[in-house]
Amino acid sequence: MFDKNLFPVLKNNSDLIYLDSASTTLKPQNVIDAEVEFLIKNGANPHTDAFENAIIATEMIEKTRKTIANFIGVTNANEIVLTSGTTMSINQIAYGLKHLLQPGDEILITDLEHTANLLPWMVVAKETGAIIKNLILDSLTMGVDPYQLDKVITDKTKIVAFAHATNTIGYLNDVQLIAEKIKQINAKIIIAIDAAQSIAHCPINLQTWDIDFLAFSAHKIYGPFGVGVLWGKMAWLQQMPPLVYGGGMSKNITDDYQTYQLADVPFKFEAGTQNPPAIQGFGEAITWMSKIGMEQIHQYETELKQYAVAQIKKLGLEAQIDFYNLNNLAPILTFNVKGWNGQDVANYLDAKHHIAVRMGEHCARLTGKVYAQNSLRASFGIYTTKADIDILLKALTKQDEFLDIYFNEVT
- Rounded to whole angstroms, the Cα distance separating 118 from 364 reads 9
**What strands, in cross-sheet order, belong to the sheet with 358-360?**
321-323, 332-337, 375-379, 358-360
Q: Single out the residue of 163, 216, 173 nearest to residue 24, CA to CA.
A: 216
Catalytic member of 363, 372, 391, 405: 363
Query: Contact at 8 Å (CB) between 250 and 260?
Result: yes
Active site residue 202: no
Cα→Cα distances 193→89, 93, 113, 175, 176, Å: 11, 10, 11, 8, 11
Query: Contact at 8 Å (CB) between 57 and 276?
Result: yes
- Rounded to whole angstroms, the Cα distance separating 361 from 250 reads 40
Q: Mind telling me the catalytic residues?
A: 363
